[in-house]
Structure 1
Amino acid sequence: MLDPKDFEVASPPSDGISGLEFSSQADFLAVSSWDNQVRIYEVQPSGATVPKAAYSHEAPALCVSWSKDGTKLVSGGADKAGRMFDVATGQTTQIAQHDDTIKCIRFLEQGNVVATGSWDKTIKYWDLRSPQPIGTVQLPERCYSMDSIGPLMVAGTAEKHVCIFDLNNPTVIFKQLTSPLKWQTRVVSCFADGKGFAIGSIEGRVGIQYVEDKDSSKNFSFKCHRDDAKNVYAVNDISFHPIHGTFSTAGGDGTVSYWDKDSKQRLKPFPKTNGQISNTAFNRNGSIFAYSVCYDWSKGYKHALPSNVNKIYLHAVRDEEIKPRTPKKR
């Protein structure tokens, strides 16, 4: 764990963790994993966790997303299906279908619409009342990572393409660009204010990108998740704090850091865990930071050993760790 005071989540998945997301209404944590399962945990004020529900895909589950009102959870997986879990009834229904793995899923804030991003090189939009997609967008390559906030949605694909969408006109790519980073995209994550996004690569680097051309002078990139021996690790996840707009990066080196993009400084480095950190998530008010420790597949299947740990921890976030700071005098 990153901090000896962190809480370990009870009854974790039996295989690697692929997605974490908190409900925006209560402290319910959704987890997708390589054992085909999606699990929901309730986090109690004491920090203890109670497993509340679980359902299955027919192949590894790779992504999760809550509806804004917290009543429904959607997930996608290698079974090429998007599924929806109704929290009140406990029922699961299939809501989406692709020709290949669904790697990314987002419950959009606009109405009852879910966006799915797939390795079949499309994004599809689904109205939960209809079995057919209400829109399809052809992507330049396979979808690797996708995030949305308000009207902004960003998808990072293979071959370093980045597609930006204005969800007021969702079937048209608003802007397409090449990643500012030299190597393969691992994650994209929207700023809390919706003005841009962060992008992380397999080569221990993060790019900060604004959507509007007028803000392009604020774009920059920085190195992270590297060590003194010149080893370079993937940036596996980036999570923005919902209140302060600062963010975390998590890497294949088993560390997490908190950063302030505006003052361009690291707020807090955490000590190394014995494992890689695959996914992270802040809860709705940013008081809890969840992170998963498991194999991140960065060295291929030969290193996917039965002895690898699969654990989820909860860190109580202190304000002084995550609040923005004034820029350092140069």
Structure 2
Amino acid sequence: MATFGTTSATANPNPNRSTEVVQPPSDSVSSLCFSPKANVLVATSWDNQVRCWEIVKTGTSLSTVPKASISHEQPVLCSTWKDDGTTIFSGGCDKQVKMWPLLSGGQPVTVAMHDAPIKEIAWVPEMNLLVTGSWDKTLRYWDLRQPNPAHVQQLPERCCALTVRHPLLVVGTADRNLIVFNLQNPQAEFKRVVSPLKYQTRCLAAFPDQQGCLVGSIEGRVGVHHIDDAQQSKNFTFKCHREGNDIYSVNSLNFHPIHHTFATSGSDGAFNFWDKDSKQRLKAMSRCGQPIPCSTFNNDGSIFAYSVCYDWSKGAENHNPATAKPCIYLHLPQEAEVKGKPRIGTGGRK
């Protein structure tokens, strides 16, 4: 695949002329997730808040309506929806998961706890279980009818990333290990492999066909990794989110729910659309003036949401609240940007 290369970033936070979400968080956005049933967007933030907006789509125009918010005691790092689209789960630095029955107007309740901040969270509808990954080096499965975890799985290091596409679950840990689980037997590791990338794992995305996962690292590179040893010849890595000698973290990987192409979002302020099967980049978007820490598609892939804000990679001393206003944008992908292309030989890879 081609390496990323566009003009240097300018101060323009919205060069792609995306729709801006009104009343964004007051601090950096840590996660974004759409309801699986409707165009309702949730964002978690370092300002301890979980916020929700209704997205109204009229033809090619979008508008956003703030709906509600709840608070955690410390920064919130992750979020996910229940599959019926009624309930939100959020976790973070206060070491707890809150369940928020948004549509019924109910109050949030604590349904899971860890001994350190909770970095990742996923709802597994096929098992009716919540899965949480923490910096306490455990993965925990929760049956919401019980106060204690149904199972605690020890990890070799802190959880950095997690992806689920039943029956496949993959955890990326701080030591570059990828721990693979078959959720038909969740209490035993199915496989443990060292990441195909040389630097720390930042994000993961399971293939829609459950045959493997994408791995993104802090070193501007993505690995396309198959689980089955018989498919190892299909594995490859490619560079992205780089310009000259400047190398940026890949922060988010999102498969398109219909076309099964994928998006990468990075600390260079860009998001790109790719086709792993033809090994081509479909579209490179203009770079925003700040990093993109997280992104997501809605349930039919017609809206791509992404946050533009400081990612804290250069520490507090490089954070300027006066210029680093957090924003959330909505992009309407054109079919040519996200629909895969026929494979042409073995070209296009770098």
Shorter chain as denominator, the TM-score bin is over 0.9
Whole-angstrom distance in 2 between the partners of 1:194 and 1:304:
39
Question: Is 2:274 aligned against 1:263?
Answer: no
Q: Does the residue aligned with 1:159 lie in a helix, a strand or coil?
A: coil
Residue matched to 1:12? 24
Aligned positions of 1:98-177 closer than 5 A: 98-177=114-193
Percent identity between matched residues is 48
2:85 to 54, 60, 70: 70
Q: Distance in 2 between matches of 1:305 and 1:173?
A: 44
SS of alignment partner, residue 277 of structure 1: coil
Deviations 1:40-64 (A, max 9, x none): 1110013111111211111000000
Q: 1:1-330 alignment to 2 at 5 Å?
A: 1=13, 4-46=16-58, 47-87=62-102, 88-228=104-244, 230-307=245-322, 308-329=324-345, 330=347
Give, in angstroms, the shift of residue 193 of structure 1: 2.2
CA distance in 2, matches of 1:209, 1:195: 9
**Secondary structure of 2:43's match?**
strand
- Contact 1:275-1:309 at 8 Å conserved across structures: no
Name the CA shift for 1:2/1:194 in 2 (closer, same or farther; >3 Å). Answer: farther
Local SS of the residue matching 2:26: coil
* Aligned residues: CA RMSD: 1.2
- 2:15–2:288: 8 Å Cα contact kept in structure 1? no
> How far apart in 1 are the matches of 2:262 and 2:14?
16
Instruction: Give the aligned residue type for 2:289.
Output: N
Moved segments of 4+, more than 3 Å: 1-5
Q: Is the 8 A contact 1:2 1:255 kept in 2?
A: no
Provide TM-score, normalisation by structure 2: 0.92
Long gaps (5+) in structure 1: none
Give CA deviations for 1:210-237 in whole Å, capped at 9, x if unaligned.
1222211111100001102x11010011
Distance 2:14 2:334 in 1: 14
Equivalences, count: 329
TM-fit CA distance, 1:326: 1.3
Higher RCO by CA contacts (8 Å cutoff, separation 6 or greater):
2
Instruction: State TM-score, norm by structure 1.
Output: 0.97
Q: Which amino acid aligns with 2:126?
A: Q
